[in-house]
Amino acid sequence: MRAWFLAALAALATAVASPVSTQSDASAMPPSGEPCQPSPTATDTSERLSKLRELMAANNVAAYIVPSDDEHGSEYTATPDHRRQWLSGFMGSLGDLVVTRTQALLWTDSRYWVQAVREMDCGWTLMRKGEAGVPSIEKWLLDNVDATSEIGADPRMVSYSLWTTWQNYLSSKSGPSLRAIESNLVDEAWGPQKPNYPDTPIVPLAPKYTGESWQSKVARVRDSMRAAGNDLLVLSALDDCAWLLNLRSGEVPYTPVFRCYVVLGVDDKAAVSMDVFLPMSKVTQTVRDHLCDPDISTQIHDHQDIWEKLPTLAATRNSVALTMPVVYHTGASYKLYTAVRGEASGNKRVVFIASPVLYMKATKNQVEAMGMKRAHVKDAVALVEMLSILSEEVPAGKYWDEQMVVEALDKLRWQQENSHGPSFDTIAAFGVNGALPHYQPSNLTNLRITTNGLFMVDSGGQFSEGTTDVTRTVHFGTPSAVQVEVYTRLLKGCIDLASVKFPKGYTMQNLEVLLRRPLFELGLQYGHGSTHGIGHFLTVHESFDYEYGENFFGSQEPGYYREDDFGMRLENIVQVVPAEVMYKTATKFLTFETTTLVPYDRKLINTKLLSAEELKWLNLYNQRIRISIGPELLRQNKQKVYKWLLEQTQPYC
Residues 472-521 pLDDT 10s = 999 999 999 999 999 999 999 999 999 999 999 999 999 999 999 999 99
Is 50 exceeded by the pLDDT of residue 5? no
The residue type at 615: L
Question: For the residues 571-584, what does the mean pLDDT come to?
Answer: 96
pTM, to two decimals: 0.91
Q: Is 414 helix (H, G, I), strand (E, B) or coil?
A: helix
Q: Are 76 and 460 in contact (CB under 8 A)?
A: no
Structure confidence at residue 31 (pLDDT): 41
Is 90 exceeded by the pLDDT of residue 13? no
Question: For the residues 599-628, what does the mean pLDDT come to?
Answer: 98
Structure confidence at residue 394 (pLDDT): 98
Helices (H), 568-636: 612-635
**Residue 341 φ/ψ, nearest 5 degrees:** -70, -45
Is 70 exceeded by the pLDDT of residue 7? no
Question: For the residues 43-50, what does the mean pLDDT come to?
Answer: 96
Structure confidence at residue 289 (pLDDT): 98
How does pLDDT run across 91-119, given as a tens digit for each residue? 888 899 999 999 999 999 877 887 888 89
Whether residue 349 is found in the same domain as residue 367: no
Q: Are 380 and 347 in contact (CB under 8 A)?
A: no
Structure confidence at residue 442 (pLDDT): 86
Domain CATH number, residue 61:
3.40.350.10
Q: Name the band, by pLDDT with cuts 50, 70 and 90, for residue 35.
A: low
Whether residue 114 is found in the same domain as residue 88: yes
How does pLDDT run across 194-239, given as a tens digit for each residue? 999 999 999 999 999 999 999 999 999 999 999 999 999 999 999 9
In a domain, 653, yes or no: no
Quote the percentage of the chain above a pLDDT of 90: 84
How does pLDDT run across 18-29, given as a tens digit for each residue? 222 223 333 344
Q: Which long-range contacts (CB under 8 A, 24 or more apart) does 294-303 make?
A: 295/215, 296/215, 296/218, 296/272, 297/271, 297/272, 297/273, 298/273, 298/274, 299/273, 299/274, 299/275, 300/276, 301/275, 301/276, 301/277, 302/277, 302/278, 303/259, 303/260, 303/261, 303/277, 303/278, 303/279
State the Cα–Cα distance between residues 151 and 145, nearest whole angstrom: 8
Quote the percentage of the chain above a pLDDT of 70: 94
Residues in a beta bridge with 159? 333
Structure confidence at residue 28 (pLDDT): 40
Whether residue 247 is found in the same domain as residue 325: yes
Whether residue 268 is found in the same domain as residue 237: yes
In a domain, 20, yes or no: no
Range of the domain at 242: 202-358
Q: Are 298 and 274 in contact (CB under 8 A)?
A: yes
State the Cα–Cα distance between residues 645 and 79, nearest whole angstrom: 39
Whether residue 313 is found in the same domain as residue 442: no
State the Cα–Cα distance between residues 375 and 469, nearest whole angstrom: 10
In a domain, 195, yes or no: no
Is 70 exceeded by the pLDDT of residue 303? yes
State the Cα–Cα distance between residues 355 and 320, nearest whole angstrom: 13
In a domain, 606, yes or no: yes
Structure confidence at residue 379 (pLDDT): 98
State the Cα–Cα distance between residues 344 and 356, nearest whole angstrom: 28
DSSP state of 220: H
Whether residue 330 is found in the same domain as residue 476: no
In a domain, 39, yes or no: no
Lowest mean pLDDT among 150-154, 155-159, 312-316, 326-330: 326-330
**Of the residues 294, 327, 358, which one is the last residue of a structural domain?**
358
What domain count does the chain have?
Answer: 3
Residues 6+ apart with CB under 8 A from 444: 9, 13, 17, 41
Structure confidence at residue 27 (pLDDT): 37
Is 50 exceeded by the pLDDT of residue 624? yes
Answer left, alpha or beta for residue 523, where phi above 0 means left and psi between -120 and 50 means alpha.
left
Whether residue 325 is found in the same domain as residue 379: no
Whether residue 354 is found in the same domain as residue 377: no
In a domain, 97, yes or no: yes
Domain CATH number, residue 382:
3.90.230.10
Whether residue 175 is found in the same domain as residue 221: no
Provide DSSP, 253-293: TTB---S-EEEEEE-TT--EEEEEEE-GGG--HHHHHHT-B
**Of the residues 190, 225, 250, which one is the last residue of a structural domain?**
190
**Of the residues 314, 336, 358, which one is the last residue of a structural domain?**
358
**Cβ neighbourhood burial of 589 (10 Å; 0-12, 13-18, 19+):** middle
Whether residue 341 is found in the same domain as residue 402: no
Whether residue 373 is found in the same domain as residue 273: no
Secondary structure, 3-state, 541-578? CECCCCECCCCEEEEECCEEEECCCEEEECEEEEEEEE
In a domain, 16, yes or no: no
Structure confidence at residue 345 (pLDDT): 54
Structure confidence at residue 346 (pLDDT): 59
Q: Is 252 helix (H, G, I), strand (E, B) or coil?
A: strand
Lowest mean pLDDT among 114-123, 136-145, 151-160, 509-518: 114-123
The residue type at 209: Y
Whether residue 372 is found in the same domain as residue 398: yes
In a domain, 342, yes or no: yes
**How confident is the prediction for the chain on average, in pLDDT?**
92
Question: For the residues 417-421, what does the mean pLDDT come to?
Answer: 97
